[in-house]
Amino acid sequence: MERKVFVKLLGAGVLGMGLVPSAFAVDVFKRTNHKICEITWKKLCGKMASVYETDAFEYVKPTKRKPNVLIYGDSISIGYSSMVRKTLDGKATVIRLFKNGGSSRDFIPNMDKLQDTMFQPHLENGWDFKWDVIHFNVGLHDLKYLKGKNLNKKGKQVSSISEYKTNLDEICKYLKTEFPKAKLIFATTTPVPENAKGRFVGDSIKFNQAAIAVLENHPDIVINDIYAFTKPNLKTWGKEPGNVHYSALGSDKQGAEVSRIIAKYL
């Protein structure tokens, strides 16, 4: 039976049940196939779950009954994403980026890849929803110094302050254009501890000041000052001397704070 004939007969059938045929047809032919989405998501994430030993990259089934939240960020956000998901369980569907977000120059390509891989019409029967909240951060990978591919203070900084400001402004414009109905929340960059490899103490402050200067031109974007929240607890929450990452306690505390901020805009 040809599809047009089938739809016509289906419409007649649902009329008899008191349903709107067009709405019913949309549900039948355009609904999300979450099995396909889950398989695609796992391929997209690759080995990220095993590399970071976290459930932050597990597939989460979006639902129209709850707001959809995206967490975009570096490995710090990978650490707190699980707590955000746990804290907002029942209130929102929380999905974090499929990888470490990297520097500001990586943001738009990563977002495009997420959209092109997981969403309709790029993925047949893929995700078909709009982001309600996007919590994002870039900076920790911009301020680092590399020699080749290795962290090295004698190497070259990934982004200058000027480049970072330009990139962040483009990110803000991109998000507003592509996701005009989403509430945007920018998280400041967490502190760099003493003796960190390839990073200098104080650079987080410089890059956060640069970010705030950019965001003055985007007053509708909320600032989550996770730097100020973390700094007083750096010694208690840090993993070990010289490590920019945090213990389970630190990540959980950060996740609870990120959840508190996001919950205001659900």
From residue 30, how far is each of 1, 12, 26, 41, 131 by CA, in Å? Answer: 20, 19, 5, 19, 19
Would you state the structure tokens that stand for residue 77, as one six-digit string? 């956000």
25 lies in which domain range? 1-30
Of 78 and 30, more confident: 78
Do residues 46 and 26 both lie within one domain? no
Do residues 83 and 2 both lie within one domain? no
Q: What is the pLDDT of residues 133-173, one digit of tens each?
A: 999 999 999 999 999 999 999 999 999 999 999 999 999 99
Do residues 16 and 143 both lie within one domain? no
| pLDDT tier at 25, thresholds 50, 70, 90 | very low
Do residues 18 and 61 both lie within one domain? no
CATH number, domain at 112?
3.40.50.1110
CA 39 to chain centre: 20
Q: What is the pLDDT of residues 53-68, one digit of tens each?
A: 899 999 999 988 899 9
Do residues 138 and 26 both lie within one domain? no
Q: How many CB atoms lie within 10 A of CB 26?
A: 12
Work out the mean pLDDT of the chain and round it to a whole number.
90
Do residues 237 and 257 both lie within one domain? yes
How many structural domains does the chain have?
2
Q: What is the pLDDT of residues 178-226, one digit of tens each?
A: 999 999 999 999 999 999 999 999 999 999 999 999 999 999 999 999 9
Task: Look at the alpha carbons of 108, 113, 119, 121 in this order and tell me if their dihedral is positive or negative.
Answer: positive
Do residues 19 and 129 both lie within one domain? no
What's the CA gap between 235 and 13, in Å, rounded?
67
Do residues 130 and 8 both lie within one domain? no
Q: What is the pLDDT of residues 33-49, one digit of tens each?
A: 999 999 999 999 999 98
| pLDDT tier at 4, thresholds 50, 70, 90 | very low
